[in-house]
Chains A and B, each alone.
Chain A
């Protein structure tokens, strides 16, 4: 096992051993230490990674049962659960088909991509075949460790850049200088492609301390269709604030809080509510630029 903490904020743990043993160890470390969390790679970033080499396979993982705000028995109920694994060169085609409007665009959430990656271009015989999963686990085979490391570095840098952007541009704080009090930061607007069906159940599901969201909060109902929640991210102990309407969630990240909390929420909502959720800033620009 080899731990690369060149950047003390982001650790890369490498192992030649059984990935099951590593899964156990990482799970234990993350659960026991509020200072540590996994990377939560959004489907958008996984898709970008899939385009960095030859896209050789995918896994989809969507489970709405975690947020059961609809009657799954009703004829108009949305898809409850969608899991799929597909290995082969047609992965991109299958993804496109599933995302078509008449298929399952709201439930087609990438959980893993298999990418054949050449560091020096496709003609080179040196390659890695990487499975990159949304929880930050990367399993590699192939002939080139360098290719594997290069791909992992791309993912890590893209991810770290977005965390940094959240903490620098969106974290909300009040600053006073010579009596002048001003605010910095802005809420991250999470926009839903289909409205939340039942706000009360939605809020209870998200903020009841359970996996995968691990958010502590007591939702305050301010109107029939509007709640606010002062929350704590139990993974890292960071405070977060939310205002929630059927069409959107405003997420306020207080200055000093961890940007990973927002990315984890966004990623988990892709997996457990709506694959088409968007994170936008006030003028409609996307928050995450993967």
Chain B
């Protein structure tokens, strides 16, 4: 799958949303067939009142079809999960997943995995004699590897392969999750802090920051939230102690950051220089985290700012 920077799950989520929403550089076929991304990781019940949580649900009233997508970054399917999916019917989609009657007329549970795991994933589907289409991702795109879609246009679209330039898959629909590396968290956090500065907010809680930078925060379970919160905290602490020390203070007791120096407090003609320094600091911070030198103390970047307003 080339050099995609995101995890398999985030890559797939952003790719499919991007294809539905017409991001430049991606195939337009899904959008032309009227597919819209509906819900991300929405849990609902099948006819036996057993829970299913597809990673993404797409629906098209134009072709009367719904696709429930399940990413598999590894080689194994879960037998019980597939069995629960197999018990979904049109009524479940309409009444429990809030899919329109037209779009719910037919549906496919679709497993999306890596090409190198195709055989194992296929075996998992065959074992239950399920009709779920299996799409596999290789370096060139997505291919239908097993079974057919209920909609012939979709089967044709992925046969032999829907070409995808993986290096250009969008990443900004859902930019972060609990698996994101620290440097990607930092990439998103610093501009957010500048945004807080523009709003002249003196203090922002960790909880608020997590909710602001992570689209899926509201639906994350507690362990996932804890993991993500830990990453954000780590990046903030490092930023406050190192590259952004002149601007930020981490207040551990309150689980929050304090903005101790704000470029907007300066005369307009002095702000640009400070913004440029912040930009240099961010560049170095990302480089440090990306190269894995996060914990070694590194070089403290001296930021020349009004010393009377600098942090403690």
- Decide whether A and B are members of one complex: yes
A residues whose Cβ falls under 8 Å from a Cβ of B: 31-32, 34, 172, 174, 176, 179-183, 185-187, 189, 191, 207-210, 216-218, 220, 222-223, 225-226, 228, 230-232, 234, 236-239, 241, 243, 245, 247-250, 252, 280-283
| List of B residues within 8 angstroms of A225 by Cβ | 167
CB of A218 within 8 A of CB of B172, answer no
Q: Which 7 A-B pairs have the closest CB atoms?
A: A282-B22, A237-B198, A223-B167, A189-B24, A174-B215, A248-B24, A176-B218
A84 and B211 CA atoms in complex are apart in Å by 50
Q: Number of B residues contacting the other chain (C-beta, 8 Å)?
A: 54
A281 and B31 CA atoms in complex are apart in Å by 11
| List of B residues within 8 angstroms of A216 by Cβ | 191, 194, 275, 278-279
- The closest CB in chain A to the CB of B285 belongs to A218
A207 and B278 CA atoms in complex are apart in Å by 13
| List of A residues within 8 angstroms of B282 by Cβ | 218
Question: Cβ of B5 < 8 Å from any Cβ of A?
Answer: yes
**A-B pairs with CB below 8 Å: how many?**
144
- The closest CB in chain A to the CB of B276 belongs to A209
CB of B43 within 8 A of CB of A179, answer yes
| List of B residues within 8 angstroms of A179 by Cβ | 42-43, 219
Given that A228-B172, A231-B191, A237-B199 are known contacts, is A187 also in contact with B21, CB under 8 Å in the complex?
A: yes
Nearest CB on B from A145, distance (A): 34
CB of A239 within 8 A of CB of B23, answer no
Question: Cβ of B40 < 8 Å from any Cβ of A?
Answer: yes
Contact of B216 among A174, A187, A208 (CB under 8 A): A174
CB of A176 within 8 A of CB of B191, answer no
A268 and B216 CA atoms in complex are apart in Å by 34
Nearest CB on A from B89, distance (A): 19
CB of B22 within 8 A of CB of A182, answer no
A42 and B281 CA atoms in complex are apart in Å by 34
Nearest CB on A from B5, distance (A): 5
Task: Pick 18 A–B contacts, CB within 8 A, sort by A.
Answer: A172-B172, A174-B40, A181-B42, A181-B218, A181-B219, A182-B38, A186-B23, A216-B194, A218-B190, A228-B171, A230-B191, A237-B198, A237-B199, A243-B168, A243-B170, A245-B25, A247-B24, A250-B24
Question: Cβ of B75 < 8 Å from any Cβ of A?
Answer: no
Contact with A along B170-211 (1 / 0, CB 8 A): 111111000000000001101110110111000000000000
A242 and B215 CA atoms in complex are apart in Å by 17
> B2, B42, B198: which has the most chain A beta carbons within 10 Å?
B198
- The closest CB in chain A to the CB of B272 belongs to A209
CB of B168 within 8 A of CB of A223, answer yes
| List of A residues within 8 angstroms of B278 by Cβ | 216
- The closest CB in chain B to the CB of A220 belongs to B187
Contact of A218 among B39, B43, B173, B283 (CB under 8 A): B283
CB of B170 within 8 A of CB of A247, answer no
Given that A181-B39, A230-B190, A232-B198 are known contacts, is A252 also in contact with B286, CB under 8 Å in the complex?
A: no
Question: Cβ of B108 < 8 Å from any Cβ of A?
Answer: no
A209 and B283 CA atoms in complex are apart in Å by 14
Question: Cβ of B268 < 8 Å from any Cβ of A?
Answer: yes
CB of B24 within 8 A of CB of A191, answer yes
A41 and B163 CA atoms in complex are apart in Å by 38
CB of A239 within 8 A of CB of B5, answer no
Question: Cβ of B293 < 8 Å from any Cβ of A?
Answer: no
| List of A residues within 8 angstroms of B22 by Cβ | 186-187, 189, 281-283
A234 and B276 CA atoms in complex are apart in Å by 11
| List of A residues within 8 angstroms of B218 by Cβ | 174, 176, 181
CB of B275 within 8 A of CB of A176, answer no
| List of A residues within 8 angstroms of B192 by Cβ | 239
- The closest CB in chain A to the CB of B168 belongs to A226
Question: Cβ of B130 < 8 Å from any Cβ of A?
Answer: no
| List of A residues within 8 angstroms of B41 by Cβ | 181
Nearest CB on A from B24, distance (A): 4
Contact with A along B1-44 (1 / 0, CB 8 A): 01101000000000001000111110010011000011111110
- The closest CB in chain B to the CB of A252 belongs to B172
Contact with A along B71-107 (1 / 0, CB 8 A): 0000000000000000000000000001000000000
CB of B187 within 8 A of CB of A230, answer yes
- The closest CB in chain B to the CB of A217 belongs to B191
Question: Cβ of B264 < 8 Å from any Cβ of A?
Answer: yes
Nearest CB on A from B175, distance (A): 8
A225 and B172 CA atoms in complex are apart in Å by 17
A249 and B283 CA atoms in complex are apart in Å by 21
Contact of B21 among A191, A209, A238, A282 (CB under 8 A): A282
A183 and B282 CA atoms in complex are apart in Å by 29
A222 and B25 CA atoms in complex are apart in Å by 15
Contact of B276 among A189, A208, A220 (CB under 8 A): A208
Nearest CB on A from B264, distance (A): 7
| List of B residues within 8 angstroms of A245 by Cβ | 24-25, 168
A174 and B264 CA atoms in complex are apart in Å by 29
Nearest CB on A from B279, distance (A): 6
> B2, B24, B39, B167: which has the most chain A beta carbons within 10 Å?
B24
CB of B188 within 8 A of CB of A250, answer no
Contact of B28 among A186, A208, A228, A282 (CB under 8 A): A282
